[in-house]
Structures are given as C-alpha cells and as structure tokens.
Amino acid sequence: MAPPSFISIFYCLIQFTLLYHSFASPSSEAFHASSDSRRHPMVLPLYLSPPKSSSQRREFEGRRLHKSDQPRPNAHMRLYDDLLSNGYYTTRLWIGTPPQEFALIVDTGSTVTYVPCSDCEQCGKHQDPRFQPNSSSTYEPVKCNMNCNCDKDGVQCTYERRYAEMSSSSGVLGEDIISFGNESELVPQRAVFGCENVETGDLYSQRADGIIGLGRGRLSVMDQLVDKGVIGDSFSLCYGGMGVGGGAMILGGISSPPDMVFTHSDPYRSPYYNIDLKEIHVAGKPLKLSPKVFDRKHGTVLDSGTTYAYLPEEAFYAFKGAVRQCT
C-alpha cells in the first residue's frame, strides 16, 4: 500500500506481468497493445538503473554477471481473489512447524509480512485461524537489539505500519520457517515476519489474514530471500484480470520474453517501485496533458496492494472526460 496521491497504475483494467529486480531498488515499464479480444498481457518489467560512478558500475556489473552464472530455484505461487469482489489479490503462505496456512494480500507497497498472533488484543475475524507461536517448534522471537524498536519490556523487536486509507498494523517480530506451497521449487526458508497484536481500519475488517510485503526493505520477504542467495533478485506478478481473478506469482528470476521492453526508473527517487509517467492514452489518443502534471516527488508508484489508480486532479478529470466520450 502506498500514499493515494500517486498512481498505483491501471493494472485493475487489464492483465499484466510485473517484473522487478531487487538489488536495492526498482525500475520500469513497457506496454504491449493488442487488437484481438484476448489481449496480450501488459508487461511492466522493472530493473535497477546502472550506477553513475565507474567504481559503482563495475561492482554492479560484476554482481549482475555473478548472479546470472548460477540459476536458482523459483517460488511459484498461485494468486486468489480479485479486485471486483475483494479489492485485492492474495496468495497462500505457510508458517511454522507444523505449517500454519495464511491468506495474505500481495503488496508491493509494503515491506513487512505479518499475520494475526494468537494473543492479538485487537484483531478481526479473518479467513484462517491466528498464528500460534507456541505450536511451532521452529518459532523464535526476534530479540531486542540496536537495529529495531523494542516492546515495553525491552525483550522483543516490534513493528508498526500505517497506511493511506487510515488502517494500521502493529505487533512483534518473530522468525520461523516459511513455506511457499507444493508448486514451488524453492524449499522452505527461515524468515522474519510480524505477529500482529493490533489491527485497525480495513485491516481489521478484511477477510484476508494479513499482508505479504514485497517492497524494498530489510524486512521484505524478497530482500530476505535474495540476501540469503536462495533466489534470483526478481519477482513476477500476473493477474487474471477483472471478473476473472486469480493469477500467478513467482519469487525469483525467470527468462524474459524476447520482446521485453524496458523503461528507465530512478531507484533513488522513492522508497516505492516507481516509473516516470509521460502520457495517458484513451482509445488510442493521448490526453492533452503536460508531462509535468505527473512530476511528483515519488513519480508514478507501482503498488499491487492499492485497489484504485490515483491521478493528480488535472489528469483525473481529463481521463474521466475521455472515458465518457468513449461510452
């Protein structure tokens, strides 16, 4: 989830594939139009911009070549739900030993993965039972240290996340074995996640159990797996589309289609995956807008956890008028 003053992107209108390279930053987009009724996917590949200095560039190139030498397994995961009925897409994750199953919203705008804890003081009724730390033989609390905020007893690390729609999640951090399902090539891995003590707003009332955070940050599932060297530094999302739902997600590298097209993104501009939006076309015609309309602090944010596409006011009314002319 990300601030609603930026565009999340029009994936709610068309099937697409999102590809991101997670060295420490995001990058980029390409549109593939189709005239037939089946529509080819809109492909939004993201990549890291090469560093500016020669020393950084050599380090970047060396790392990229080194990582491409040895193929790594992928975590193939199914997507469920859809925007029309739920406002989000979910995937399944299993935590602990024995595994406890959870339905988690796929969110590229969040960095923490969290589920309701068994002793949650303020959690809603969700799809699955709450996580039982005491029932997992492999669970360990993340002990208080200088790199985290601590609970009132100074024993365990805590987290807190607030979202644009005024919902929030807070709790403690734990570490356990996370499994990705029987379609995954990737074996179960230890990872840090949040065990919720308090939910508010939509997070309290939603059917999904929690969120799988794929954003950029040390607590992100992607960053943890990449840092361990168990997967390639990319992930892919493919949504089933409006009224269809479902889809697929792959954590790890895949072979890029031969017609893959890339566009630039500044990884230092924003903590979110972002691109520079220049134009919007409706029925093949560009809207009469200056590119400066979209030149905001964070660029155009790609956020799979945001239901709607948000536009600056001028662009919104131009888009609205053009759509009405087509109907």
177-217 pLDDT, tens per residue? Answer: 999 999 999 999 999 999 999 999 999 999 999 999 999 88
Q: Could you confirm whether 209 is annotated as catalytic? A: no
Q: Which pLDDT tens digit goes with each residue over 136-174?
A: 999 999 999 999 999 999 999 999 999 888 899 999 999
pLDDT band at 257 (very low <50, low <70, confident <90, very high): confident
Residue identified by tokens 């739920």 is 86
Share of the chain above pLDDT 70, in %: 78
DSSP H helices, the chain, are: 54-69, 202-205, 221-228, 313-326
Residue of 81, 223, 233, 303 marked catalytic: 303
What's the CATH number of domain 75-251, 1.10.10.60, 3.50.50.60, 2.40.70.10, 3.20.20.80?
Answer: 2.40.70.10
| Residue 49, pLDDT above cutoff 90 | no
| Residue 223, pLDDT above cutoff 60 | yes
Q: 3-12, 84-93, 125-134: which has the minimum mean pLDDT?
A: 3-12
104 and 270 in contact (C-beta within 8 Å)?
no
Locate the domains of the chain by residue range: 75-251, 274-326
257 and 236 in contact (C-beta within 8 Å)?
no
Q: What was the pLDDT predicted at 113?
A: 98
d(CA 316, CA 318): 5
| Residue 229, pLDDT above cutoff 90 | yes
Residue of 82, 107, 176, 223 marked catalytic: 107
d(CA 301, CA 279): 15
- The structure tokens listed for 43 are 């492909």
Inter-CA distances, 239 with 17, 164, 185, Å:
7, 23, 21
Q: Could you confirm whether 266 is annotated as catalytic? A: no
In the predicted model, what is the mean pLDDT of the chain?
Answer: 80
Q: 49-58, 125-134, 287-296: which has the minimum mean pLDDT?
A: 49-58
